[in-house]
Amino acid sequence: MKITAISIFPEYFQPLGLSLIGKAQRDKLVEIDLVNLRDFAEGVHKSVDDTPYGGGAGMVMRPDIWGDAIDHVARTSEATVIDLVILSPSGKRLHQEDAKRFAHSEHIVFACGRYEGIDARVGEHYRKDARFRVQSISIGDYVLNGGEVAALVIMEAVIRLIPGVLGNPESLAEESHNDEGYLEYPVFTKPVQWRGESVPEVLLSGNHAEIDRWRRENSQIPSSPDRSGE
């Protein structure tokens, strides 16, 4: 799989050299390319943004510069289909099912905007191009300073699903076991006594039927945070 991130801050993606994703790249399970949007800007200031039509605060990223950058990535891609992901606080919320779909992608291109976002014509333009599947995606209802951190989150969610990336595929099997509902239960390890607190006896029993039942009974379906006190 190929992944490209287009950003004015490619340094944001340095953590991808670490840990599981660093190993996946060295093992050639994924190739991550960084494209500096600034390389497609012109003039002495190499400006990538301008004032919004209709007025208002902040700046909007220019469609011509984004178009040149995305065209360059497409020209140099061997993929038949390119998943163009535009990170946006108003995008469609990412779920595990989306990560599973992306794990089968030939080439994902993350368009990481800054300022007040990318001119809306960029998404519309590539939606008309049959080689592109364009998706505007959000990782949650909060505003970041740009799409880079959201792209990192999606990359981690997707890359860990590529066959061979996880050392222990049992953890993946267990996730799909619990599919959708995402049943999570409390977990414990040594020491058996810690600051006066002990581990539930059933987990020390070796009775796996009883352990499964305890875990089912103590599972929580993840929900939104409790905002009833607001």
Strand partners, 174: none
CB 102 within 8 A of CB 153: no
Query: Interacting stretch for ligand JAH, rule CB under 6 A, among 65-73, 136-144, 167-175, 188-196?
Result: 136-144
Q: Which of 4, 88, 105, 136 is close enough to bind ligand JAH by CB under 6 A?
A: 88
- The verdict on 89 binding ligand JAH (CB under 6 A) reads yes
- The verdict on 107 binding ligand JAH (CB under 6 A) reads no
Query: Interacting stretch for ligand JAH, rule CB under 6 A, among 10-18, 66-74, 87-95, 96-104?
Result: 87-95
For helices 19-26 and 148-159, the axis angle rounded to 10 degrees is 70
Q: Which of 87, 108, 109, 154 is close enough to bind ligand JAH by CB under 6 A?
A: 87
Name residues contacting ligand JAH, limited to 114-133 (CB under 6 A): 114, 117
Rounded Cα–Cα distance for residues 151 and 137 (Å): 9
- 131 C-beta neighbours (distance < 10 Å), count: 13
- The verdict on 113 binding ligand JAH (CB under 6 A) reads yes
Query: Interacting stretch for ligand JAH, rule CB under 6 A, among 11-19, 109-117, 163-171, 192-200?
Result: 109-117
DSSP 106: S
For residue 105, give Cα distances in angstroms to 1, 3, 206: 7, 9, 42
- The verdict on 62 binding ligand JAH (CB under 6 A) reads no
Alpha helices in the chain (DSSP H): 19-26, 63-75, 96-102, 121-127, 148-159, 169-177, 208-217
CB 162 within 8 A of CB 1: yes
Structure tokens at 85: 């992901």
Nearer to ligand JAH, 10 or 24 (CB): 10
Q: Which of 85, 146, 159, 214 is close enough to bind ligand JAH by CB under 6 A?
A: 146
- The verdict on 143 binding ligand JAH (CB under 6 A) reads yes
Query: Interacting stretch for ligand JAH, rule CB under 6 A, among 6-14, 113-121, 124-132, 185-193?
Result: 113-121
Query: For binding to ligand JAH (CB under 6 A), which residues are involved?
Result: 87-89, 113-114, 117, 138-140, 143-144, 146-147, 150
